[in-house]
Amino acid sequence: MKYWLKLLLISMGIIFLTACAPDADAGADQTIIVGESVTLQGSTTSSDPVSYQWSEGNKVLSNSQIYTTGDFEVGVHAITLSVRNDKDEAGTDEVIVTVNETPDETAPIITLLGDKTTTLIIGDTYTDAGATADDNRDGDITVNIITVNPVDTTTVGTYTVTYNVSDAAGNNADEVNRTVKIVDVTQIILNKDNIQLNLNKSTSIRVNAQLDDNTTVDITDKVEWIIGDDSIISVDKNIILGLQEGETSLSARYHNYISQRISVKVYMEVNGYKLPSKPDETLNNSTLLGVDSNNNGVRDDVERWIFLEMEIYNGYEKIEQVIAMQEAKAFQMTLKDPANIDDIVHKAMAASTNCWVWYSHSKNLPFQDRMLKFSRVIKDKCFNTKDRLKTYWQYDGTLAGRVFTSTPTLQTQSQCEVSIDGL
């Protein structure tokens, strides 16, 4: 019955339209840079009232026909538009939003390690200090640095070492360069002349190279030391150590260059007193006066004996050494002037005796026996050869028949050449 009714209605010109789901149009695909805004505008051809919904996966983004956002992260986003009528019938469409990173237009930065300009002496070894490279996107790209190093240390000249690098985006860093100068030496110079060094003490020394570009560089760590007698001194890097008394030469070698030769004399010091070197025995005893290298009026062998071997009688070492030096000087005067012209030698002898008198008085010491023994051992040391002893007796003969008066004790203090009161 329904069928025939329908046919009848159609034949009468009455047509029933059956409802259908609306269509959806999400628009064209879009490509943006991260952080930029994108606007999606949906549409439909349906004349029925509809609602719009934008979603990505299961996440609803908007329920508006037009959706604007700047929150998309870098990547490809498939956005679905749903258009739904009031009968809950829906049509869908998809739009692709591609979000790219901001274009990398920042060049990496090269940082030079070491000095911008380096000067080397011909024949030296050049080791490049290198550089580092950092990029805002790629991070540390030091391994990608291209270094061009034309330095030839066998040839004098000025060389440029270059450093270049680019990042993954193709941005080139500003080229960085280093200047390496290879120069020749005109001479090498020790910074000290002759050196006097206390035994078992040390001092420093440096070596400078004068270059053909009129500059000077320190090459101390690069030289070879030339020592005349290495039993007297040793040199470790730039430190000279006195090993034993004596005198030797010292110079430095650098490649084919040799510095000036200087003298290094190692001496011994006792109680702050600098002793002369031990003299050659044959030379010292070949003349009456012997060797007095420091010209203080006392023969070197006697001076050394006083400070190194002489017996101390009353416990005041420094005082007795000072008095012994004064008396040894007076004894030496007898060898220079055995005739005792103007009584100068005798006055010097008396003064040394009076200095001992003041010493005994000021320290309340036994006087006669110790003073005589003290004087006798010094005399034996000073007149140690037949010629010296014979010459002394010549002087002693000038005193025969003379009468001498002793100096009052309180006046003997002034007879000491060196004040002994503070020793």
Q: Which residues contact 401 (CB under 8 A, 6 or more apart)?
A: none
Does one domain contain both 167 and 224?
A: no
Q: Which of 60, 78, 100 is the last residue of a domain?
A: 100
Q: How many residues does the chain have?
A: 423
Q: Residue 7: is its pLDDT beyond 60?
A: no
Give the pLDDT score at 405: 84
CATH number at residue 144: 2.60.40.10
What does the mean pLDDT of the chain come to? 91
Q: Residue 4: is its pLDDT beyond 60?
A: no
Does one domain contain both 290 and 409?
A: yes
| Residue 82 structural domain | 21-100
Does one domain contain both 387 and 286?
A: yes
The pLDDT > 70 percentage for the chain reads 94
CB 289 within 8 A of CB 332: yes
Does one domain contain both 331 and 409?
A: yes
Does one domain contain both 177 and 207?
A: no
DSSP string, 201-239: -EEE--EEEEETTS-EEE-GGG-EEEES-TTTEEEETTE
Give the pLDDT score at 421: 87
Query: Considering the domain boundaries, does residue 374 fall inside one?
Result: yes
Query: Considering the domain boundaries, does residue 46 fall inside one?
Result: yes
Structure tokens of 413? Answer: 């203090």
CA distance 161 to 172: 17
Give the pLDDT score at 368: 60
Q: Could you give the angle at the alpha carbon of 207 between the alpha carbons of 202 and 210, nearest 5°?
A: 165
CATH number at residue 207: 2.60.40.1080
Does one domain contain both 177 and 190?
A: no
* Number of domains composing the chain: 4
Tens digit of each residue's pLDDT (9 = 90 or more) over 368-405: 667 778 889 999 999 999 999 999 999 999 999 888 88
Give the pLDDT score at 192: 95
Strand positions, DSSP E, 165-307 = 176-183, 185-190, 195-198, 202-204, 207-211, 216-218, 224-227, 233-236, 239-242, 246-254, 257-258, 262-267, 269-270, 273-274
Does one domain contain both 294 and 315?
A: yes
Four-point Cα dihedral 368, 370, 372, 377, nearest 10: 180
Q: Which of 246, 267, 288 is the last residue of a domain?
A: 267
Q: Residue 6: is its pLDDT beyond 70?
A: no
Does one domain contain both 304 and 393?
A: yes
Give the pLDDT score at 299: 97
Does one domain contain both 298 and 396?
A: yes
Does one domain contain both 246 and 158?
A: no
Does one domain contain both 197 and 177?
A: no
Q: Residue 37: is its pLDDT beyond 50?
A: yes
Q: Which of 267, 299, 330 is the last residue of a domain?
A: 267
What pTM was computed for the model?
Answer: 0.59
Does one domain contain both 138 and 260?
A: no
